[in-house]
Structure 1
Amino acid sequence: MNRREAIGLIEAIGLATAIEAADAAVKSANVRLIGYEPCKGDGMSTIKVAGDIGAVKAAVDAATAACAKGRGVWGTKVIARPSEGIEKLIYNRQTVGFIQPEEPKVETDSEETNEVTTEE
């Protein structure tokens, strides 16, 4: 996560409404769609976007307007400079569409391994 990026959250009622909201958000401003997270109950989904603060605010406003066409929006939030402590809440495995960056693999030399073999 880029520490200068703002985060926008849109909690839409219904998956179709959430998809329409995500579409409106990314078309209205220069934001990156992180993904969506299905909530546990009431058929809600939370759309997550990132970008500079002005773009995120515009995207959240556009998504909120799009939700009015569907079942509606439950809530929205824009976080200007999210703390590193909440990074795991935003970027997690429950977020559909978010691809977890791979950790660098450490290569080991096969000759250095101490394998014990027994012969019968």
Structure 2
Amino acid sequence: MLDLFKLAQSLYLHDLRDCPEGFIVVRTFEEAVQAFKENPINLLSLDHDLGEDEHGNELPNGYDFVKYFCENGLRANKIFLHTDNPVGRKNMYETLLAAQRRGFIDADIEIFHYSITRNKYSGD
């Protein structure tokens, strides 16, 4: 799957939903980290809740990825938050804005509190 990233600059982090046209989907925190290590990302669309492990423990979520993104000074030109979790959305948004103010991430990254795509789940 990671070979496809060479062709894409738009990344969609979500554990279940269908991948929107023009994006490459990553299903886990770890896949998102790997994608940023291997490729420049222009547009990033984030979900908050990324599921549970086989024991019912929450897996690292979109907010965990936002913290990683900020701590490591990663870059995407535009970031959209497509999560339906209102608390998670607010936490991710406010963390990204605070990281910009403090110089942890570039000030010219555009951060949007909403989705750029229609969320769709086909169950496939």
Normalized against structure 1, the TM-score is what?
Answer: 0.29
Normalized against structure 2, the TM-score is what?
Answer: 0.29
Structure with greater contact order relative to length (CA < 8 Å, sep ≥ 6): 1
Say which one has the larger Rg: 1
